[in-house]
Amino acid sequence: MDSSGGKMKHIIIIVSVLILLIHSCSGPVKTEKGKSDSSKLNEANHFSAVTQQLDPGGDLFLYLNTEKINRTIGSMFKSIREFAEANMPKDLKTRFSDVMRFISDIFLKIGFSEISAVGISSKSIDPDLNRSRVIVYRPHARDTGLIWRLLGKSTPLSELDFLPTQTVYADFGHFDPGFLWDWIKKRALESKIKPIQKGVASVEPFLQKADIKLPELLASINGRAGIIFTMDPAQVNHIPLGNTDKFAMPSPALAFIITVQNHYIFELLKHKMTFAKYHKLDQLEQISIPVPPMPILIAPRIIKSDNLLIIASNEKIVQQILAAKKNRDGLIRSREFKHLSQGLPKKGVGFTFVSKRLVNFIYKIQAQGFFSADPSAQLIKNRQKLLSAFQTDFTFLGILENEKNGLIFTANHPLGLEKIAVMPVVFAAGVVSAIAIPNFIRALQNSKQMRSLGDLKQLGAAIEMYRTEKGYYPKYKTFQSLLTDREFQGYFNSRIPQKDGWGNLFLYTISESGDHYYLASAGKDGKYEGNDQRGSYFLTSMNAFNRDVIYSNGEFVYGPRSR
């Protein structure tokens, strides 16, 4: 849900801060005339290269040249290093210089300094569909940075075929773990910082002692991985939430998928996980991980299938993924996906998908948390106003490309620019409110009950003193009658507790034999179920506060119990 709104907002904020940083921290860059002319020509080329790939005529069209930002950051590193070295003790200068050089080197080698410009656009392409695009531009000659090499080049997004029709969230990306590890080792060696060198050098020997060969492990990964989250409406689970014990939730399942060159990782896990069970089912080799029973179907599996390693919450999602991959009849065939994917690139190095079914489910959770916490009419009305701002039809598909001139992220979604700006705030506020408001109201109800318990004990103590002096318990059938007894009134220095935390009058009665008295609170709903109730109960839901509390002969015989 935060995928488009959050990304767009964060990018705009970062760009704005960087613009302020440039103008406040750096003056005009002095260059020779020839260099100045060359710089202007490069800026013109960069502007043309970026803006040609953006969508004009929409709500947002932004271009930022980052060359000056890079120079400013470089100057800042240099100034900090020179200032510190000039004011540091001699024994610290070398170490500090090495650290600053390492940080500066990392910034350069990651590839941030190779970025020359950033472009952002957002435009409506359909009555209910908008396309947003972010360009991170670098000249073709600048391609030595980690971010360009690690992601690899754009290829057909075959992982889209893996998504079952029940998919509500998916995120896949390309990367080269072997290249990343070699890059880390090289940077550590160049750093001249002994703790970093020692730490990186110790990784492979440490794993070797555990019989894990890191080079073989990295070589076995093909460079593509992702997660798939499904919610199956054909199978519903009922989970406790708010004021109800039966909140309907479409059966969820989660799978983590890695494309592999071989099955080194699977064999390693089979060897290491002695507590798990290895078996074959439908020609699939599986490792089953035992877990205790849960309200939803959780039966973890690690499965190898052709060039895939799948770690899943249950076997059903694995079968759905393999069927979608084989038949190419999964999510990509759905009307929602076809509409959402129009005009998006066919190749890339990663993608993110969010279904409106997931957003609707989160909305229902928020609504349930809101409305079950306290069903008063005014609170329900106020919460409905807040939830009405939530974008329940939000859906999202974004494709990341790594091209010869940088990164391009293109996403389709139903939000206009004004909603993109407020969506992260509304979503965050909704999530926080759904958690905080019910918890606050629960805490409030708990405090009312604790007050009732304290008052019952105080009343009971007075009744016990009454019996000690009189030889019998007060012989009244109602609490109102008990309050009129002057002897009873004399045991209180101040006010006599009369009502429980919810404003309901306490209850009092005595048995026919006179041997037992019963003091009670009828709970939040004010409905008393009788003196015969015994035992204790947990406050697992808001309904539990409706239960009675009974105090008899110096002790609680029925009431709440802490976990």
The pLDDT tens digits of the residues spanning 182-210 come to: 999 999 998 888 899 999 999 999 999 99
pLDDT band at 510 (very low <50, low <70, confident <90, very high): very high
How far, in Å, CA of 141 to CA of 324, rounded?
A: 41
How far, in Å, CA of 190 to CA of 198, rounded?
A: 12
**Range in 60-69, 123-132, 290-299, 339-348 the model is least confident about:** 290-299
Q: Are strands 535-537 and 555-560 parallel, antiparallel or unpaired?
A: parallel
In the predicted model, is pLDDT for residue 43 greater than 70? Answer: no
Helix, strand, coil percent content, the chain, rounded in steps of 5? 45, 25, 30
pLDDT given at position 9 = 45
Determine the Cα angle at 493 with ends 490 and 496, to 5°. 75
Residue type at 124 in one-letter notation: S
In the predicted model, is pLDDT for residue 438 greater than 80? Answer: no
pLDDT band at 492 (very low <50, low <70, confident <90, very high): very high
Across residues 39-63, what is the average pLDDT?
81
User: How long a stretch of residues is the chain?
Assistant: 563
Q: What is the pLDDT of residues 524-559, one digit of tens each?
A: 999 999 999 999 998 877 778 899 999 999 999 999
Buried b (16+ CB within 10 A) or exposed e, 148-160: bbbbbebeebebb
- Residue 346's CB is within 10 A of a number of other CB atoms, namely 11
Q: What is the pLDDT of residues 327-346, one digit of tens each?
A: 989 999 998 899 999 999 99
In the predicted model, is pLDDT for residue 3 greater than 60? Answer: no
| Arithmetic mean of pLDDT over the chain | 82
DSSP string, 295-356: SS----EEEEETTEEEEESSHHHHHHHHHHHHHS-SGGGSHHHHHHTTT--SEESEEEEE-H
pLDDT given at position 425 = 60
> Encoding tokens for residue 454?
């304290």
> Encoding tokens for residue 425?
């705030």
Across residues 25-50, what is the average pLDDT?
58
Instruction: Check residue 167 and report its DSSP letter.
Output: E
